[in-house]
Structure 1
Amino acid sequence: MPKYIIERVVPGSGALTTRSLQKIARSSFEVITQMSHRIQWVESWVTADKWFCLYIAADEQAIREHATLVGIPADAIYEVMARADPVTAEGHIPWPSFGLDDC
């Protein structure tokens, strides 16, 4: 399934308490459970006024459906086309390709 980065504009999110973040995360997870393997939450990064979330999903519509059901914005959705990191810069392949190009 494709990976997506979701940008969520949530003013004041950097001031959310641990308890508030836990409540939002729990709501998100409950909806994901109901969506029958169409979406998987990997990780989120919270900044002062935005969230950047990494999801694996069947399609962009699953991302939008999840956001609607949880009651959180999905202001921009970007499909991840490739991954790069310091290992990439060195020219190393981080895992065996098994004859496949860029999985």
Structure 2
Amino acid sequence: MPKYIIEREIPGAGALSPQELQGISQKSCGILRDMGPQIQWLESYVTDDKVYCVYIAPDEATLRAHAEKGGFPANHIARIKTVIDPTTAENQ
């Protein structure tokens, strides 16, 4: 199943309290449960004014439906083609 990264513009995201982040996470998980196993949230990275979320989903439309149901912005969605890390530099 394809993996995607979603860029969400959320002014002040980096200043959200642990309780606020927990509430957002709980809301997202509840919607994911209702949508079924075809969409999975892997992790998110919170910066000052954006949140970058990594999901597995069949297509972009499914991700947009999740965002709409949760009232979350989905300013940019990109399909991840491959993942590299420092071990990629090593000889095989």
Q: Which amino acid aligns with 1:38?
A: Q
Answering whether residue 37 of structure 2 is matched by residue 48 of structure 1, we say: no
Q: CA deviation at 1:36?
A: 1.1
How far apart, in 2, do the equivalents of 1:10 and 1:49 lie? 5
Q: Where does the alignment leave 5 or more consecutive residues of structure 1 unmatched?
A: 93-103
After TM superposition, where is structure 1 displaced by more than 6 Å over at least 4 residues in a row?
A: none
Change (3 A) 1:91 1:60: farther
Secondary structure of 1:38's counterpart equals coil
Structure 1 or 2: larger helix share?
A: 2
Deviations 1:2-34 (A, max 9, x none): 000000000011110000000000000000000
Query: What are the within-5 Å matches in structure 2 for residues 18-37 of structure 1?
Result: 18-37=18-37
Residue-pair matches, total: 92
Q: What RMSD over aligned residues (CA atoms) do the two structures have, in Å?
A: 0.7
Secondary structure of 1:65's counterpart equals helix
Q: CA deviation at 1:91?
A: 3.2
Structure with larger RCO (C-alpha < 8 A, sep 6+): 2
